[in-house]
Structure 1
Amino acid sequence: MPRSLPKLQTDRRKKRLKLALISTCCVLLTLAMLALGLYYIIRFINLKFYFCAGSLEFVAIAAVCDGKDDCMDGEDELKCVSNLKTNSAYPVRLVSKRLILQVSDENHKWSSVCAENWNTWHTRAVCQQLGYMQNPRSMQVPVSSLPSDLCTAFVALNTEPQQASSNIQSSLAARDQCTSSSVISLSCSDCGEVVSEDRVIGGAETAVELWPWQASVQWYRQHVCGGALISTRWVISAAHCFAGRTQELGAWRVVLGQTYMTSYGGISMEAIIIHGHYDPVGHDYDVSMLRLTWDVTPGASIHPVCLPPYQLSIKEGEELVVTGWGTLRENGELSSVLEKATVPLIGWSKCSNSSIYGSALTPRMLCAGYLKGGVDSCQGDSGGPLVYLGSRWQLVGVVSWGTGCARRGKPGVYTNISQLLDWIYAMMEVSVHVMIVGG
């Protein structure tokens, strides 16, 4: 008998410990299920209702941003996706691969800017007018090295320019020629820096450090589209990404600097602007501008891509790169890791052939891919960047639409950024107040 007592006590302790572990696991599982249930309840409420903080009431999400004040203080109409258009050419532009600065007069005549009397203040002023605040630089380019179309008209700064004016055009006067024999070439940011590299359908896994402008545009923390960072405050995406979804800004976030798909670290937006001419049926003018709530700090995994200059010449067949987390096959699931694919530019006349896309293609669109199929952007890549490597990476397209994904004879169609530069620069220049109220 004395020998069996210790064994009995040990068995009892083991049973109590086992019961304690089971109870703890049950409690933890119950808490996890409650937390998960609470998450989905909150998510359901957010998808269906908007909370009016001022009047402590809920209104249907469909009533938010509908032009009518449903909250007592109208807060449901204060922060909404805007639709803005511009009817005139932006008066300042950078032309060709050499980024020659040109300005237009009241008659819409373009003139190259001579180098005489130019200084760093003017460089900063023009870059600020173009919507950039980071690392502006200028250099002098000999007139003799320019193509003839950039030498037809010139303007130069007055001897004593009025530096109080933020509009550089007011300090310029027409000239027959540049006495300095040089014109100004301008670079407004350290965009599109090249990083050496020792799925998008048919693509390959990559890292965000190689494409640090890549953005994930998320609706209630779910990835719906890609985007491209073009400055420390602005992201470009597609207009159709916001169709049929909540127009209230609080539903949207942008995630930057991530290779693997995540909702962590999302940045809220103080303005989402859809092109005023956007056609949701024909996909024309399929572009949007997203202004982040704060400036991001450029680094190895977050860095803007360059906007293309006016008159950028890319030949048919030249290689472009598209990146995103889109589906790896038509109607498949999103990729968990960033993918990239190299696709050649397809000439507009070829892509607008009746056997491909015909009259559905507009001048605001370009095609890239293989007519034999096999490599393409797909669902979830929409709004993402199509880039071209000149001296730096330049954003030439935004993933827009196509018939299926990677089908034979149906390449990807992209919004042609070079055709929309006037609108992009106008949106970057306009004040935040105007952007939010003007929708």
Structure 2
Amino acid sequence: MKEAKKALCITISLGAVLAGAAVTAVLLWKFMENKCSVSGIECGSSGTCISPSHWCDGVLHCPSGEDENRCVRLYGPNFILQVYSAQRKSWHPVCQDDWSDSYGRAACQDMGYRNSFYSSQGIVDDSGASSFMKLNTSAGNTDLYKKLYHSDICASKTVVSLRCIECGVAGKTMRQSRIVGGSSASPGDWPWQVSLHVQGTHVCGGSIITPEWIVTAAHCVEEPLNNPRYWTVFAGVLRQSFMFYGHGYRVGKVISHPSYDSKTKNNDIALMKLQTPLTFSDKVKPVCLPNPGMMLEPNQSCWISGWGATHEKGKTSDELNAVMVPLIEPWRCNSKYVYNSLVTPAMICAGYLRGGTDSCQALAMRGAEAGDARAALRERPRGLFRQLVAGAEGDSGGPLVTLKSRIWWLIGDTSWGSGCAKANRPGVYGNVTVFTDWIYRQMRANS
């Protein structure tokens, strides 16, 4: 009898060990399968993971150098396709000779535009390039980048202009309106504007850049709001009161800039990836990401939009508002009478130094009050959310756009400011022109 019990105990123990080993093996396999999902991008067959920031930076990090082999970007307002040469450590336009849409689709995919392609055509190069990347049509390999070689001659004298997505197209009724100092928008005026909700409350704004990706501010998604399950995105709806009846989109992933500083608001940009893609229409369209080489004027006319307060310490607006604000040169914004060197190259200022027109930043509480509210949300996320956004002024993360070459470009996301529409206290925005490459890398790594 004792021997039978002993045998049974041994059998049960052995079974438990084997079950534990099986679970461990499954978890390990899952970890190995997704090991680059958090830490970076996988280097092809080698399995090495590298940070997305090391992709296309001119330095070989992967054993076979694949991190520098598929580096593409769009340059200037005409979307000139450029490919990075690791050999020459510089960007070069692609000659139109023998180019086809199939190559354009491949380049778009490598920028993170999954299954998205709009147009590809030859235009006169205005970047002043003296050397081109040219297709070797006799090369047997089908890989686009292995077909490209350096050439000082481009027979067609035109370079590839590539549009991966039809973006920056808005309605025809462009009225000067807004926020603090403006009036309500009309349907289709700002079709890229979205409202970001947590538990039925508008918290921040955002901008559509693809059917799956939204640009917003990093300070909107500080912990604990970095959890995607808190967020719902509403697109194509102008009134907050109508969003309760509309269809919201769930967020699948929140990616904040790794160098975001919550104290200084430096690098204040974040991305949200939707669980299901948006359906584009006259009221729902993407804005264009700014390309390097845009050459904005010092006082370029821009527009801001949002559901923020229409006066300081006021409630968020039920209607979407928008208004024109000019850019303010960095040296002027950093003067001792304005923000006294608080504006970094990753920020831009826009508005009027005399005051009167501005965006109102969301999550406007400062210091201990904001910290206490976030701690409360961490403990009881449903019950005390409204305490967190008490006094929130709702424009944060929303777009600062400009019209250039008949296209609307996203050049800023609403970040911070001292109050709303005060003299010598203009709005400060995340400088999206600095973050375009980072955005493409995230889209590519998380496609």
Q: TM-score range by the shorter chain?
A: 0.7 to 0.9
What is aligned with 1:108?
89
What is aligned with 2:420?
405
Q: In the TM superposition, what whole-angstrom CA distance separates every residue of 1:312-367 from its partner, at most 9, and x where no partner exists?
A: 11112221010000011111100000000110111122112222123211111111
What is aligned with 1:158?
136
Give, as a single letter, the amino acid of the residue that structure 1 aligns with 2:164. C
> d(CA) in 2 for partners of 1:241 and 1:367?
19
Give, as a single letter, the amino acid of the residue that structure 2 aligns with 1:195. G
TM-score calculated relative to the size of structure 1 = 0.75
Per-residue deviation, 1:217: 1.0
Q: Quickly say closer, same or farther: Cα 1:311–1:162, change in 2 above 3 A.
A: farther
Q: In the TM superposition, what whole-angstrom CA distance separates every residue of 1:386-421 from its partner, at most 9, and x where no partner exists?
A: 111112111111001111111100100011111111
What is aligned with 2:182?
203
**Which region of structure 1 is more displaced relative to structure 2, 238-247 or 280-289?**
238-247
Q: Are the counterparts in 1 of residues 179 and 359 from structure 2 also a CA contact under 8 Å?
A: yes
Give, as a single letter, the amino acid of the residue that structure 2 aligns with 1:296. L
Mind listing any 5+ residue stretches in structure 1 that lack a counterpart?
Answer: 1-73, 75-79, 433-439
Per-residue deviation, 1:89: 4.7
Q: In the TM superposition, what whole-angstrom CA distance separates every residue of 1:183-236 from its partner, at most 9, and x where no partner exists?
A: 111111111113211631101111241111101111122111000000111100
Q: In the TM superposition, what whole-angstrom CA distance separates every residue of 1:131-176 from its partner, at most 9, and x where no partner exists?
A: 2233421111134xx242xx132111111456643xx433311111
Q: What's the secondary structure of 2:195's corresponding residue?
A: strand
What is aligned with 1:99?
79
> d(CA) in 2 for partners of 1:160 and 1:176?
19
TM-score calculated relative to the size of structure 2 = 0.74
Moved over 6 A (4+): 80-84
Matched, 1:386 2:400: yes
**Which region of structure 1 is more displaced relative to structure 2, 324-333 or 203-212?**
203-212
> d(CA) in 2 for partners of 1:82 and 1:332?
42
Q: What's the secondary structure of 2:253's corresponding residue?
A: strand
| Identical amino acids, percent of aligned pairs | 36
What is aligned with 2:43?
none
- Where do 1:83-162 residues align within 5 Å? 86-89=53-56, 91-106=71-86, 107-132=88-113, 133-143=115-125, 146-148=126-128, 151-160=129-138
> d(CA) in 1 for partners of 2:140 and 2:340?
52
> d(CA) in 2 for partners of 1:211 and 1:163?
44
Q: Quickly say closer, same or farther: Cα 1:215–1:124, change in 2 above 3 A.
A: same
Q: What's the secondary structure of 2:232's corresponding residue?
A: strand
Q: What's the secondary structure of 1:196's corresponding residue?
A: coil
Q: Are the counterparts in 1 of residues 104 and 117 from structure 2 also a CA contact under 8 Å?
A: no
Q: Quickly say closer, same or farther: Cα 1:372–1:162, change in 2 above 3 A.
A: farther
- Where do 1:346-361 residues align within 5 Å? 346-361=328-343
Q: Are the counterparts in 1 of residues 55 and 441 from structure 2 also a CA contact under 8 Å?
A: no
What is aligned with 2:440?
425
Q: What's the secondary structure of 1:86's corresponding residue?
A: helix
- Where do 1:65-80 residues align within 5 Å? none
Q: Quickly say closer, same or farther: Cα 1:208–1:348, change in 2 above 3 A.
A: farther
Give, as a single letter, the amino acid of the residue that structure 1 aligns with 2:400. L
What is aligned with 1:170?
146
Alignment coverage as a number of residue pairs: 350
Q: Quickly say closer, same or farther: Cα 1:427–1:155, change in 2 above 3 A.
A: same
Matched, 1:344 2:326: yes
CA RMSD, Structure 1 to Structure 2 (Å): 2.4
Q: Are the counterparts in 2 of residues 94 and 100 from structure 1 also a CA contact under 8 Å?
A: yes
Q: What's the secondary structure of 1:358's corresponding residue?
A: coil
> d(CA) in 1 for partners of 2:408 and 2:56?
25
Matched, 1:307 2:289: yes
> d(CA) in 1 for partners of 2:213 and 2:139?
31
Please identify the structure whose Cα radius of gyration is greater.
1
- Where do 1:203-352 residues align within 5 Å? 203-261=182-240, 262-263=243-244, 264-352=246-334
> d(CA) in 1 for partners of 2:146 and 2:425?
49
Q: Are the counterparts in 1 of residues 235 and 284 from structure 2 also a CA contact under 8 Å?
A: yes
Q: In the TM superposition, what whole-angstrom CA distance separates every residue of 1:46-76 from its partner, at most 9, and x where no partner exists?
A: xxxxxxxxxxxxxxxxxxxxxxxxxxxx9xx
Give, as a single letter, the amino acid of the residue that structure 2 aligns with 1:100. I
Q: Are the counterparts in 2 of residues 320 and 342 from structure 1 also a CA contact under 8 Å?
A: yes
